[in-house]
Structure 1
Amino acid sequence: MERSTAGIADSLRQLEDGSSLGGRANGVFSRHVGYGSDQLHWLYGHLRSVSTLADAAWQVEDPEMGHALLRLTGPRLESAMFGSMLLATWLDFLRLADIVLRECPAYSTERLFMDMHRVQQLIEPTLWALASQDPEKVEAAATEMPELMGKLTREFGSIRDGARIAMENSGRIMAAAQLVEMLTLASALRMSLPRLPPAVPASLGVGLVMGSGGVMAGSQIVVSAEWVEMIRRLVQAGVLSLPAISAAVRIHGGQVMMAQANGDLPKGVRDALGESPEVRGMRVTDGAGAGMSKAPKHHVLPKEFRAWFEQRGFRGDMDIDKFCVRLEQAHHQAIHGGGNWRLGRTWPNEWNRMLMEALGEAEVEAGRQLTRNEILNIVAARMKRYDIPMKFIQGGRG
C-alpha cells in the first residue's frame, strides 16, 4: 500500500509540473492536482499510525492486549486502502484531463473544468469520511464505495466519449479513435469501462473461484492465495471488517459486482475467506447491523490522569482516547462503584482507583517510571479480572 501511495505521489508531482497538467489552460487545473496532493497527508498519517500500533502490538507481552492493539489498526487500514483506491481513481481523471487538453482542442476547456469539478464533488464526501478516523464513518464509506466507483466509471466513460464525439464532429475520425485508445489505456478503470460501439458492452463476472496453483480468479480480478490467506486472518482477528473487504472485491470485480445489492456476501467472497463462524455470521450491512452498539464508552486509562499517562508514552497514535471500550450501562456503573461516581471513588475496587494504585505500586517496586508496554500488561490483567472486553474504540477528549 505504501508503494502504491508513493507511486500516486510521484504521478501527482509530474502532473503538477508546469509542462504537464498544472501548466495547461493557464493553470486552471492546478487546483485539481493540488486537491489530490492534499489527500496524501492524511493517507501517509494513517499508514504511520498503522505502523506505530502494529509495532506496539508485537512488543506487548499479553497476547490479548496485542490482538486488541492490532484491531485498532483496522479503521486506519481500511481508510488507507479505500483512500488510495479513490485517489488512484482521481489520478485517472487528472490524466484524462491532461490528455484531452493536449490532444482534443475540440473539447472545450470550460466543459472539462466543470466535468472535473463535478467528479471532485462526488469523491469529496467519501474522502472526508475516510480521513475522519471515525470507525463508523469509515465503515459506511467503505461499504458505499462500490456504488461510488460505479458512478465514477460512468463519469470517466462519459468524458471519454464526449472527447471522441467532439473530435469526430471536427472531422478527425482516425485521431478520435487513437484518442479513445489512449484514454482507456491510461486509466486504472479500464477493466470496468464498456467497450465502444459497435462492440457489445463487456460482460463481467460476478464471482471468484479458486483455480489451479492456489490463485483466485474471475473475469476481472486475479488475487494470490497469499493475499486471500492474509485477508482471512485479518478478518478473523477482527482487524478488517468483512463488509469492507467485500466492497473492495466488488470494486476490483468490475461493474456487475459494483452494482450488486447489499445483503448476503457474494459467494466468491465467502469462498475466498472460508466457512469459519466469523464469515458465516457476517452480512454486508450498515453500522448498526454490524453490531456497533451505542452503549457507553469507558476510558480504560482514566481521563483524569491523562498527563500521567502522557509522560509514560501514551501520546499521538497511542493516546489514552484510543483505549476506550463499549460497556453496557450496568457493567459500566458496576466497575465504577455505582451510578454516583463520587461515592464510587471511595470503593477500593473502583476501576480508576484500583488501576492507578496498581500502577503506582508497580512503579515503586521498579524504582522508576513504568514503560508503556509494562503499563499495558498490567492493564490487560486487570481488564480480564473485571470482564472488560479488549475491543478498543476511539473515544473523545474531556
Structure 2
Amino acid sequence: MGRPPGAGAEGTWESALAAHLAFRGAVLDVAGSTRRLSGELSRLGESHWGIAGKAAGLFVPHVEYGQSQLRWIDDELAAATRLAHAAAEVEDPDMQLALLRLAGPRLEAAMMGSMLLAVWFDFLNLTDATLSRHLYSVETLYVKMERWQKMLEPSMSALASLEPEQVESAAEDMPALVGHLTREFASLLDTIHKGAKVLETALVLKESMEALTMLSALRFSLPAMRPALPATLGVGLMVGPNGVMMGTRIVVSAEWVEMMRQLVRAGVLSLPAVSAAVRIQAGHVMMAQGHGDLPRGVRDALGDAPEVRAMRVTGKSGAGMAEPPRHHVMPNEFREWFEKRGFTGKMRIDWFCVTLQQPHHQAIHGGGNWKLGRKWRGEWNQMIMKALRDAEVGAGRMLTQNEILKIVAGYMKLYDIPMNFVRCRGK
C-alpha cells in the first residue's frame, strides 16, 4: 500500500496500514485452521472401518455437513481476501478502512464458524475412533450426533447470513454452546469407559484417544479427567502477563491480542466476537462467563474502552427507533454499468450501501430540498455517474474497480457521507 500523494492525515494512514496488516494476519490464521480441517474431513470421509463404513454410511451425512460448512467459510475468507487486496490498492486511507470494515463481518463469521467446525470435527473424530473399535452402540451414537448437529445449526446459519447483528449475537452465544458441547464430549468419553468390559478394550480406547488430533477449543477446555479414565484430554491453563490466558500452546498470545486490538479499534471486528474467541480458547472456566467478564488485562489489551465499543455501529438510530434505510452509494439504476467494471458477486454494488438519516438522504438527492429530486445538478446519482463517465473519457478506457472506489471516496467526503459500508437488505 503506497503512501498517497500529499496525504495530510498521518494518523489515519498509519491506522489504515496497521488495520490492513492485522486483517491479513487474521485471515491467514483462520485459513490455516480451515486447511487442516479440510484435510481431516477428507480423511474421515474415506474411513472405511469407522465413521464412513458403519451401517452403509449412516454417519456420512454428518461428515458432509462439516464439508458444506467448510465451503461457505472458505468462500467468505476468499471474499475477505479480495476486499483486502482492493483496500491495499486504494490510495485513500478512509476508503481502505471502509473496505476492511466491509470485509469484517466475513472474517468474523469465518473465524467463529471455523471454531464451531473444529468442535464438530472433534465429535466426528471421536465417533470414528469409537465405531471402528465397536466401543459403543451405533444407534445411540447416531441419535447423539443428530442432536449435536441440531445444536450447531442455528449458530452456523446465523454466521453464514453475514448480517452483523446475527453474527455478533451468535458469537456472544458461542462460549455457552461450546461449554455445553464440551460437557457432552466428556460425558460420552466417561460412558464409553464405563461400558468397557475388559482391560484390553479400555487400553484400545486409550490408544485411540491419544492418537486423536484435537483441533478445536475442546483440547483446551475439556476438564481434566480422573486418572482411572482411559484418556486425559484436559490441559493446564495459566494466567500470563496482563491476565492473558494461556494453554498448552499460547492460545491468546501477545501477537494475537495486538492483531485483534488493531481490528477492534479500526471497527473491523466487534469486541463481542473477539471476546468470545478469547473465552472459548481460554477454557471451560471462562466459557460460562458473560461477555463483559473477561479478565481486566485481556480487556485492556484488546482496547475495551467506550470509544472502542462505540466504533462498531449497530445501525439503530436510537432506543426504540427503527433502523434508518440503507442506500446504494453506486446507484442501483446503473447496476449493469458497474457490473461491466467488475462489481459482481461478492463485490456487487449491494455491498456498498450506507445508512443515512432521512434528512441527509433528502439533502444529497435534492440539494436540501427533496422536491427538486433528480432535477438538481448536484443530486448524488447524477453527479457520481457524470464524474465516473468523465473519468473514463479522460482515461480512454473503462475504469477499474479501484479507480471507481477512489472517485467515490472523494465525493463521499465532499457530501459528508460516512464511509461505513453495509449490505443493502434483501440483496
Normalised by the length of structure 1, the TM-score is 0.88
Aligned mate of 1:259, from 288, 291, 310: 288
Q: Give 1:4 shift.
A: 1.7
Q: Does 1:68 align with 2:98?
A: yes
Q: Give 1:265 shift.
A: 4.6
Change (3 A) 1:320 1:397: farther
Partner-residue secondary structure (3-state), 1:67? helix
Counterpart-to-counterpart distance in 2, 1:115 and 1:22: 17
Corresponding letter in the other structure for 1:209: P
Corresponding letter in the other structure for 1:55: H
Matches within 5 A, 1:340-379: 343-379=372-408
Q: Does 1:118 align with 2:147?
A: yes
The alignment of Structure 1 onto Structure 2 pairs a total of residues equal to 389
Corresponding letter in the other structure for 2:54: R
Corresponding letter in the other structure for 2:397: R
Partner-residue secondary structure (3-state), 1:298? strand
Counterpart-to-counterpart distance in 1, 2:88 and 2:311: 28
CA deviation map 1:194-241 (0-9, x unaligned): 233479x97976965349xxxx54357623322222211111111111
Q: Does 1:88 align with 2:118?
A: yes
Q: Give 1:70 shift.
A: 1.2
Partner-residue secondary structure (3-state), 2:222? coil
Counterpart-to-counterpart distance in 1, 2:311 and 2:284: 23
Corresponding letter in the other structure for 2:191: G
Counterpart-to-counterpart distance in 2, 1:166 and 1:297: 58
Q: Give 1:280 shift.
A: 7.0
Change (3 A) 1:8 1:289: farther
Aligned mate of 1:9, from 31, 38, 41: 38
Matched with 2:363 is 334
Partner-residue secondary structure (3-state), 1:325? strand
Q: Give 1:344 shift.
A: 0.6
Counterpart-to-counterpart distance in 2, 1:28 and 1:92: 18
Contact preservation (8 Å) 1:53, 1:317: no
Q: Give 1:242 shift.
A: 1.1
Q: Give 1:177 shift.
A: 6.0
Gaps of 5+ in 1: none
Q: Give 1:69 shift.
A: 0.6
Q: Does 1:172 align with 2:202?
A: no
Contact preservation (8 Å) 1:12, 1:91: yes
Q: Does 1:183 align with 2:213?
A: no
Matched with 1:312 is 341
Q: Give 1:91 shift.
A: 0.6
Matched with 2:25 is none
Corresponding letter in the other structure for 1:233: Q
Corresponding letter in the other structure for 2:297: G
Aligned mate of 1:103, from 133, 137, 153: 133
Matched with 1:59 is 89
Q: Give 1:183 shift.
A: 3.2
Q: Does 1:144 align with 2:173?
A: yes
Change (3 A) 1:345 1:287: closer
Contact preservation (8 Å) 2:363, 2:370: no
Counterpart-to-counterpart distance in 2, 1:257 and 1:287: 30
Counterpart-to-counterpart distance in 2, 1:303 and 1:160: 56
Matched with 2:246 is 218
Q: Which deviates more from structure 2 when the two are superposed, residues 333-342 or residues 122-131?
A: 333-342
CA deviation map 1:61-83 (0-9, x unaligned): 21111111111111111111111
CA deviation map 1:263-288 (0-9, x unaligned): 355413213224666447689x9986
Q: Give 1:14 shift.
A: 1.0
Gaps of 5+ in 2: 1-29
Corresponding letter in the other structure for 1:295: P
Change (3 A) 1:337 1:115: same
Corresponding letter in the other structure for 1:270: R
Partner-residue secondary structure (3-state), 2:366? coil
Q: Give 1:88 shift.
A: 0.9
Q: Give 1:191 shift.
A: 2.5
Partner-residue secondary structure (3-state), 1:35? helix
Q: Give 1:328 shift.
A: 1.3
Counterpart-to-counterpart distance in 1, 2:44 and 2:308: 43
Counterpart-to-counterpart distance in 2, 1:290 and 1:218: 39
Counterpart-to-counterpart distance in 2, 1:122 and 1:320: 35
Contact preservation (8 Å) 2:275, 2:291: no
Matched with 2:354 is 325
Q: Does 1:209 align with 2:241?
A: yes
Corresponding letter in the other structure for 1:175: T
Matched with 1:39 is 69
Counterpart-to-counterpart distance in 2, 1:175 and 1:290: 62
Counterpart-to-counterpart distance in 2, 1:316 and 1:345: 29
Counterpart-to-counterpart distance in 2, 1:332 and 1:265: 40
Corresponding letter in the other structure for 1:218: M
RMSD: 3.1
Q: Does 1:130 align with 2:162?
A: no
Counterpart-to-counterpart distance in 1, 2:184 and 2:314: 27
Partner-residue secondary structure (3-state), 2:79? helix
CA deviation map 1:135-158 (0-9, x unaligned): 221111111110110111011112
Change (3 A) 1:220 1:140: farther
Q: Which deviates more from structure 2 when the two are superposed, residues 224-233 or residues 153-162?
A: 224-233
Q: Give 1:180 shift.
A: 5.2
Matched with 2:27 is none
Normalised by the length of structure 2, the TM-score is 0.82
Counterpart-to-counterpart distance in 2, 1:296 and 1:126: 26
Q: Which deviates more from structure 2 when the two are superposed, residues 365-374 or residues 334-343?
A: 334-343
Counterpart-to-counterpart distance in 2, 1:11 and 1:94: 10
Matched with 2:270 is 241
- Percent identity among equivalent residues? 54
Q: Which deviates more from structure 2 when the two are superposed, residues 21-30 or residues 65-74?
A: 21-30
Counterpart-to-counterpart distance in 1, 2:417 and 2:249: 42
CA deviation map 1:281-315 (0-9, x unaligned): 689x9986999971121211110010011111111
Counterpart-to-counterpart distance in 1, 2:152 and 2:62: 12
